[in-house]
Structure 1
Amino acid sequence: MPTRRSEPSLLLLAVIGLTLYLGVTFLSPFLTKSASLEEDKSGTPAISKAQASQAAEQFALKQLSLTANRQTNVIFQSYSARSGYVQKIKLYDDYLKRYGDRFPLDYYQVEINDLNSKATYYIDVNFTTKEIMGWELGSAGRTGTAPASSGEGGSESLARKTLKDMGYLPEEFVLKDSSEPKSGRYLFESKTEAIGEAHLQVLVSVTKGKVTSFHPRFSVPDSFLTWQQAQNDRAALMTRVSMGISLLMSLSAVYVMVRYRREITFVKGTVLSLLFLAVYVMNNFNMLPAFRTSHGEGPSGPETLFYLWFMNIFVGLLALSTYFALSAGRRLWQNRGVTAWPSWRQAGFGASVKSAMVRGYLICLFVLGVQQLLFFIAGEAFDVWAVSDPSDSVFNMLYPAAFPLMAWAAAISEEAVYRLFGIAFFLKITKNRFLAVLLPSIIWAMSHTQYPIYPVYTRLIEVTVLGLIFGYAFLRYGFLTALFAHAAMDSILMGLSLMYMGGPMQVITGGAYLLLPALIGWLIYWIHGKLKRRPPSPPAPARPLFPRPDH
């Protein structure tokens, strides 16, 4: 049984964590030698998506024969390879100073579907200046009623004229040998502009006497691209291993439920599982613009809808896995004489939730401090850096204000699978408490290596350390405390990402999310007390799953 010293001990940890977080955050700009792992503020758009759409449509009407009958979508995109390269060679700040205004690492891409010609245009818009940086015409537009080609020489002249029309000086570029005049593909390289070994290039495609694509780019060396792909492959392998072991854990949870079917109350865990499902499905619909970031030449709509429903089916399976983990994990701990979390019908349920919320926030502050310190050490000692991920960006959401609700989906599922069930499962196998916490933490960490942080092994170490802390919180204070600690941490991080968008409403909404877990904990406490119509009961003591021996 924990003593009254438990709360002061957690308060001390929270103070340490908050000191670490604020200290590293405010001092790192004066101490760091590399780009921060935090979200890059230079990647914040200065114009709205509506302004980008208007600029792209005006350009397409004037230059690309766009008709009035059209549909438009705007997505946030990134030059991830270029961003990674300049960070790896430690020229990130130099790149921003020299090329950040004209060739930003992040930009808006406007998809315009011409409903008359069935052509699809992808137009890249500088999200700071509204300038058109490049464009691509889909295959349907290329095979339209364009003028006949005037030969290779005429196509090259058209490519050079387009280069000049877009604000470049043709005499400062040379035509690369890798150009393919027979296919209408011309690659021009700058004689002077480069960052590291990456030279400024412009790729122009001409089809039937019509420019069908224009893309400025920097020629990131193949050696870096090979290294980055190898890193991505390792992350994908670790993710697959994590998914495979998690599947085996889910099958084991089903076995536990079947074996103890007469003793399991199957309604337990349904509310949390349904909450996970509802939040995640809502987030999938919210991420529709993000699903458009990986597209082909034609309209991205059909691909996006297919991916949406595929993700919803996958999330349904995750919800089942979460339910299995909640039910089986609860049973395994009952076999050890421990109730994983109190029942609504118990008099002290509301007070237990409120106490778990308070403990969760204190642990959360400690975890945030540890994570910030790990990020700092990783950046300074191991040259770790991150790139933007358009497929997971708040700028690619229909309603960014809804994004931080995902904190609850992550907390419910991951604490159920890797703490509640995972620790009990591996404890039964290994008979060792430390391994029982460490192994599910590693499995959980492997599933987080797909985030674009390089080298990828550092993410494995960082999340494993966080998993050990959450495991301690679970063993010492129970499932509800671990749940609130995880939800509070993710709510704070996601709320801050919303605040970084810069708008007044985003700042207010993001700030509100920092306090949302506290509000939820207090509301459950208040509602439970009102519905039970009895004086508030003292909270049930947070019984440690492995109490420390008395001396």
Structure 2
Amino acid sequence: MANRRSNPPLLLLAVIGIVLYLAVIIGSVYLQTPGAAADTGADDPAITKQEAAEAAAQFVQQRFGLSDDYRTSVLHQSYTVRHAYLEDAELHDEYVKHFENLPLNYFEVEINDAAKRATYYIDVDYSNQRIIGWEAYTTPALRQRAAATAATEPLQLAEQAIIEQGFELEEFTRVREEPNVTAPERRDRPRPAVGTRYLYESRDERIGEATLHLTLSVANGAVVSFHPVFNIPAAFLSWQEQQDAKAALMTNISMGVSLAMTITALYIIIRYRKEISFRRGWLLSLVFLAIYVTNNINMLPALRAAHGAGPSQLQAIVYLCFVTALAVLMAVSVYFSLLAGTFLWRRQGWDPVAEWHDRDFGSQVMTATGRGYLLCLFILGVQQGMYFIGSQYFDVWSVSDPSQSVLNMLVPGIFPLLAWAAAISEEAIYRLFGIAFFLALVRNRFLAVLLPSIVWAMSHTQYPIYPVYTRLVEVSIIGLIFGFFFLRYGFLTVLFAHATMDSILMGVTLIDTGDGTQDVIGTFYLVFPALVGWILSWLHRVTKRRDPQPTSS
């Protein structure tokens, strides 16, 4: 199939991509906008996680008492709902200037005191180690310590805490005193269910339609919960919930169609098992599984970011087991797609997947690597152009996501390896098999490329980019480009293009952390796909050179 069509000028497309990318940067500076990627508000921490942990432990020791048998873990957290509202209302810059003491991003230190059977979550400003909020989940151990102060009225304790946190009490009005007052910004974390709740509303401090509130809980002679929050307008919360529901629906549709594709691939494998070589695809599937499982383990701290009451480790491990089992099923789907996709294309007289035993495999890999980089540059330029147009004319914006933050990884430096898992799985399922699958259904080449691209795009709509339809459009267009070049150059080219694009984007994420070590590692990942291609080509050349040559009879 690749031989039937003339090859488009990839070098010219790469130049166009670079020009688009630079134009977006220049345009963003000129217009004084966030540019291609909406500002996530994730400024670099000025303190280390260890310093945050020490500040939190000192605070707990002073306020609650802390035994010698305790452990700490530090997470990057964000007020994502507040951030989303600020982006939607175009108030982010104003907020950062006016509410410097209430950061959108911070370190959350979890302290588990084994001796007292108590868990504390302490929010630490990661620019100056200041404590900005806390929650205590405890057993009767805390009540014993609180007995000495139990005589103090809960209201007096609440007001003392407000003053100690640097707020002027006279600038706030106590709104209500109820047992079930919850903060309107943190849906992922329940408040302590005991004690008396207090809510104070600022008379003057507001951003847009959101007014500053202080929420407190007092139990057993201690303030067990304190958070400065903003009452985000109900209209925005409703809009965001509708957007998230649409994203969830599209994700579910994508999962359903992908499952149907996997079942169809299995049917094809069973039906034509005598014509299929089962040695194909198993190595790529294992590489995908190894990288994906490694990434899941690496993301264990991030899995603790959305926690409930008490220690978060157990629930994170349970979820880790679930996603690991899911990774195994995904690896099976990748294997089925590689087998069935290759078979369907071979029946049409085209083999899009180069194999190790091919005499020219090494040269094909090097060619695919070069083409992959050129195609990657073009797609990056197109993607940045779409982001810029979206932010300027369609009110597209994004927010920080702690569950994807490199600050919440055990080893941030291995995060970009995930690029290869994404490239292997998505190119196998939605290009190699997906296009062949839909081509058999609709008998139209353009629709056969478009439909799996839409299915693929739907699975990307739950990223925190709003409105959610923009992500659907963006990824569908990128899917069309990948599909177009798959039909011309085969599987290896789009595999390397996809892996290179994600490696660059993830490498830049490491560079953006501001850490010198991560800068070096992130820079390395910019050229890592080229190194992979060269190593594969070299190994193939060496291996084939050592193979015994057939002797003439």
Could you say which TM-score interval applies, normalised by the shorter chain? over 0.9
Distance 1:488 1:142 in 2: 54
Distance 2:367 2:177 in 1: 66
Which residue identity is paired with 2:156? S
Which residue identity is paired with 2:486? F
- Residue in 2 aligned with 1:171? 170
Distance 1:36 1:441 in 2: 22
SS in 2 for 1:383: coil
**Residue 6 of structure 1 pairs with residue 7 of structure 2:** yes
- Residue in 1 aligned with 2:538? 526
- Residue in 1 aligned with 2:137? 138
For the 8 Å contact 2:255–2:459, the answer to whether it is kept is yes
For the 8 Å contact 1:36–1:385, the answer to whether it is kept is no
Distance 1:265 1:115 in 2: 56
TM-score (norm 2): 0.93
CA 1:47–1:486 in 2, change beyond 3 Å: closer, same or farther?
A: same
SS in 2 for 1:489: helix
Distance 2:429 2:5 in 1: 30
SS in 2 for 1:285: helix
Distance 2:5 2:37 in 1: 38
Which residue identity is paired with 2:63? Q
**1:94-118 deviation line (CA, Å, top 9, x unaligned):** 011111x311111100000001011
Distance 1:320 1:45 in 2: 40
Distance 2:320 2:202 in 1: 42
- Residue in 1 aligned with 2:394? 382
Distance 1:120 1:252 in 2: 49
- Residue in 1 aligned with 2:66? 66
Correspondence for 2:435 among 412, 423, 431: 423
For the 8 Å contact 1:140–1:298, the answer to whether it is kept is no
For the 8 Å contact 1:119–1:140, the answer to whether it is kept is yes
Distance 2:269 2:289 in 1: 21
**Residue 233 of structure 1 pairs with residue 245 of structure 2:** yes
CA 1:39–1:49 in 2, change beyond 3 Å: closer, same or farther?
A: farther
Distance 1:180 1:424 in 2: 59
CA 1:122–1:497 in 2, change beyond 3 Å: closer, same or farther?
A: same
SS in 2 for 1:124: strand
For the 8 Å contact 2:216–2:225, the answer to whether it is kept is yes
Deviation at 1:342, TM superposition (A): 1.9
Which residue identity is paired with 1:213? S
Which residue identity is paired with 1:211? V
Matches of residues 178-189 of structure 1 in structure 2 within 5 Å?
179-180=178-179, 183-189=195-201
Q: Which moved more, 1:132-141 or 1:407-416?
A: 132-141
Deviation at 1:178, TM superposition (A): 5.9
**Residue 158 of structure 1 pairs with residue 157 of structure 2:** yes
- Residue in 2 aligned with 1:273? 285
Deviation at 1:130, TM superposition (A): 0.7
SS in 2 for 1:533: helix
Which residue identity is paired with 2:345? W
SS in 1 for 2:335: helix
Kindly report the root-mean-square deviation, in angstroms, between the aligned alpha carbons of the 2 structures: 2.0
Distance 1:439 1:193 in 2: 50
For the 8 Å contact 1:20–1:373, the answer to whether it is kept is yes
- Residue in 2 aligned with 1:540? none
Distance 2:142 2:47 in 1: 34
Deviation at 1:34, TM superposition (A): 6.4
For the 8 Å contact 2:25–2:36, the answer to whether it is kept is no
Distance 1:108 1:226 in 2: 28
- Residue in 1 aligned with 2:319? 307
Correspondence for 1:328 among 340, 353, 363: 340
Unaligned runs of 5+ in 2: 181-193, 548-553
Deviation at 1:6, TM superposition (A): 3.3
Q: Which moved more, 1:179-188 or 1:264-273?
A: 179-188
For the 8 Å contact 2:295–2:415, the answer to whether it is kept is yes
Name the % identity: 51
- Residue in 1 aligned with 2:46? 46
CA 1:140–1:35 in 2, change beyond 3 Å: closer, same or farther?
A: farther
> How many residue pairs were aligned?
533
Which residue identity is paired with 1:289? P
For the 8 Å contact 1:449–1:460, the answer to whether it is kept is yes
Distance 2:144 2:150 in 1: 17
**1:189-208 deviation line (CA, Å, top 9, x unaligned):** 11111101111111110012
Matches of residues 244-323 of structure 1 in structure 2 within 5 Å?
244-323=256-335
- Residue in 2 aligned with 1:538? none
- Residue in 2 aligned with 1:432? 444
- Residue in 1 aligned with 2:184? none
For the 8 Å contact 1:448–1:463, the answer to whether it is kept is yes
CA 1:230–1:497 in 2, change beyond 3 Å: closer, same or farther?
A: same
Which residue identity is paired with 2:155? E
- Residue in 1 aligned with 2:403? 391
Deviation at 1:45, TM superposition (A): 1.2
Q: Which moved more, 1:209-218 or 1:319-328?
A: 209-218
**1:165-217 deviation line (CA, Å, top 9, x unaligned):** 11111111110136559951011111111101111111110012211111111
Unaligned runs of 5+ in 1: 536-551
Distance 2:177 2:394 in 1: 37
Distance 1:153 1:74 in 2: 33
